[in-house]
Structure 1
C-alpha cells in the first residue's frame, strides 16, 4: 500500500527526512512513531504529494507519487497537520464543500453527498451537532470533523497525522474503536503519532522515526515476544535474590516489594523454589518489552538520544538554521 526507498527531504542545510524505506502492507494498522520534530509530518506530506522529495521514491497504492496522485488520492482519506475548515460554516456545510472540491474519480458524487456526509458525521460522533459554525467547535470536535472528511469517500487507505489530538479519554477510545472497525472492513490505516500507548493498543506493525531516520520497522507482536527472562514480583526481594544468585539479571524496587528479572528455562521450578523457601511471590510471568522499551532501545541504537521537541519539522530547522529551512519549506510546498 505504501512503499518508499531512500525517501529524503532537505530544507537548506537541514535534513528533515533521511533515507526512509517504508513498507506498509495491505490490511496493516501501521503506527508511524516519532517525537515531535522527528520528520513524521514531512514524510506524510511527501506520501500524499503535498511536498516534493529531495531524493528517493514513494509509491502509494502501487503508483508513484506525486506523479500518480490523480489516480491515488480519490482512494485515500487523509488528515494531516490538523483539520482544516471554514470557521463561518457548519460542520455539515464544510463536509459538503470538501466533497464537492475533492479529487475527481472519488467514490460517490453529488447524488449521494448528503447521505455520505450524515454517515461520516455519525461515525465520528458529530451527528447530533446543530448548525453552529465551526468557530464554536472545541479542538476535539474539530479533530472529529477532520476525521469525518477523511471518511467521506470510502477510502482504501487512511493516512492520519495525530488523529486523537485534543480528544478526551472517551473520545480517544471511540476513535480507536472506529479505526479498528474500518480496518476489519478492509481499510489499511497509516497512523502517525507520538502517543505510544495508543499505538500499542491499535497497531499491527510499527515504524520508528528518530531525527529523520527510520530506526525500526517490524510487526508489533514480533517486537513484544517474550525476552527469555522471567519477571518476578516478590515481597521479599533480598531473600529471593540470595536464593537465585547469578540467575538474577536485574533488580528494582516495586510496589509491595521488588522486581527481579531472572534468566531461567523452568519458571514453574523457580516459583516452587521461592515458595518452599518462604519467599512470598506476588507475580511471576514471562518478561515482554513494552513499546516504550522498544522505541527507546531503537533510538539509542541509532546513535542518538531520542529527540523530543515542541515543534515539528520546519520549526526546529528554522531555529537551528537561521530560518532558511522554514523559508525553503514554504517555497517548496508552494511549488508542489
Structure 2
C-alpha cells in the first residue's frame, strides 16, 4: 500500500475532525476522497503529510511511519493543500526555481530545465515575468500543481486541484493527472466535485462527519438501478407496447422498469418498434454520496435537506403514460 492508516483520529478541543479512519490506497490508483464540507477530508490529507499531528492512530506512507519518517517520505511526495502558496512579489518561474533549489538542488542547468518542464506540463510555459500577485486564480492553481510536480513524485496529494480552473483547464488537468498516473504516479485527490472524481478516479473513499464510510473501486459502485434507458424514433408505439413499465418519457427517450436490456430489445423488435439506443441505467457517484452522507458543515438552518429517492419511479412530466 502507498498509504495505510489505522484508527486515524484528530481532535481539536471538543471537536473530532477525523474519527478512526482506516484508509488503504494501493499503488498505481487514482484515488478520490469525497465528502461534504467539514467531513474531514483536508485534515486527513494534512495528517498524511505531517502538517498536522494525529491525536491517535497510525499513518504509513510508502511503508514508512509518518510523521516520524517524513525526511524519507516527503521527497517522493508532491502536494497541493488548501490552495497554492507563493511569494506574491516574484514571478511564477522565480517561485519554482527557489522551491527546486531548496528541494532537489543540483546543477543550475538541471534546475532550470525541471522548472520549464513543469511549467509546460501545467500550461504555463509561456508565462511572463509578472508577479504571482497579478495572476488569476486559475493561473495560481496551475502554478501550485507545477510546484507539486517539481520532484517527479511517486505520490501526488492534491486538495481541490481544479479549483479556479475554467472547463478547458479542468479537462487539461484531468488529462495531465491521467498521464502521470499511467506513467507510474499514484494520485490522491480530495474534492467535492463529484463529476470530476467520477471522470478521473479509479477508486473512491467517502467521508462523513470525520469517518470513512466507504472505500471502493469506482466501477463497483455503479450498480444497476433496475431501470433501462431506451431511445426510439417510435416513442408512442413503445409506450403502448410497454404499458405499465415506462416510468418517464422526454421526447424520444424513455426510462423503462426492468434489468434485462436484451429481453426488452427482443420485445420491442418483435412488436415492430425501432430501437436506436438501449442500456441499463446505473447509479451515479452523486447518488452514492447522497445516500451515505449528511448535510455539510456549511448548512446552518437546522432543517434536514429534502429527501430524494434516486432509485424510485420518475413521473412523466406532462407527457404520456
Tell me, yes or no, whether TM beats 0.5.
Answer: yes
TM-score by length of 1: 0.81
Answering whether residue 106 of structure 2 is matched by residue 109 of structure 1, we say yes
Deviation at 1:292, TM superposition (A): 1.3
Q: Which residue of 1 aligns with 2:310?
A: none
Deviations 1:41-82 (A, max 9, x none): 111000000001111111111111111111100110000000
Taking the aligned partners of 1:257 and 1:220, their CA distance within structure 2 comes to 27
Partner of 1:64: 65
Contact 1:75 1:153 in 2 (8 A): yes
Q: Which residue pairs with 1:288 in the alignment? A: 282
List aligned pairs for 1:48-87, cutoff 5 A.
Answer: 48-87=49-88
Partner of 1:307: 296
- Total equivalences in the alignment: 296
1:63-122, CA deviations, whole angstroms, 9 ceiling, x for partnerless residues? 1111111110011000000000011000011111122333xxx4x534421111111111
Question: Distance in 2 between the 1:269 and 1:32 partners?
Answer: 38
User: CA 1:257 to 1:204, structure 2 compared with 1: closer, same or farther past 3 Å?
Assistant: closer
Cross-structure match for 1:126: 124
State the 1:212 CA deviation.
1.3
| Equivalent position of 2:141 in the other structure | 143
Unaligned runs of 5+ in 1: 300-304, 311-315, 321-336
Q: Equivalents in 1 of 2:84, 2:263: separation in Å?
A: 56
Uncovered stretches (5+) of structure 2, i.e. residues with no partner? 303-321
CA RMSD of aligned residues (A): 2.3
Q: Which residue of 2 aligns with 1:181?
A: 179
Whole-Å Cα distance in 2 between the matches of residues 198 and 240 of structure 1?
A: 39
Aligned partner of 2:312 in structure 1 is none
Tell me which moved more, 289-298 or 276-285. 276-285
Report if the CA contact (8 A) 1:20-1:213 is conserved: yes
2:87 is aligned with 1:98: no
Aligned structure 1 segments of 4 or more residues deviating by more than 6 angstroms = none
